[in-house]
């Protein structure tokens, strides 16, 4: 259980639709937290979780979609 009282292991997770076909670089994100987006490596489900602020995650995704970050 995380220090914030949430059990990150029980959250519904979804895989990125932009991972490689082999799954070797796939990430998962969890839904259900109002102010954070937990991200983990799909290959290591019991490994570390990076919790990104919801606003920062939204800005980052928008920058990717708009091509602002390049390729």
Q: What is the mean pLDDT of residues 20-46?
A: 79
Rounded to an integer, what distance in angstroms lies between the CA atom of residue 53 and that of residue 48?
A: 16
Higher pLDDT, 59 or 45: 59
Average pLDDT of the chain? 78
Rounded to an integer, what distance in angstroms lies between the CA atom of residue 7 and that of residue 13?
A: 13
- pLDDT tier at 49 (50, 70, 90 boundaries)? confident
pLDDT > 50? residue 29:
yes
- pLDDT tier at 17 (50, 70, 90 boundaries)? low
Rounded to an integer, what distance in angstroms lies between the CA atom of residue 29 and that of residue 15?
A: 6
């Amino acid at each position: 259980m995380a220090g914030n009282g949430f059990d990150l292991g029980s959250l519904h997770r979804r895989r990125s639709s932009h991972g490689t076909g082999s799954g070797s670089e796939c990430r998962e994100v969890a839904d259900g937290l109002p102010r954070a987006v937990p991200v983990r490596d799909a290959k290591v489900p019991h490994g570390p979780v990076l919790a990104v602020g919801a606003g920062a995650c939204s800005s980052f995704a928008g920058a990717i979609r708009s091509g602002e970050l390049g390729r």
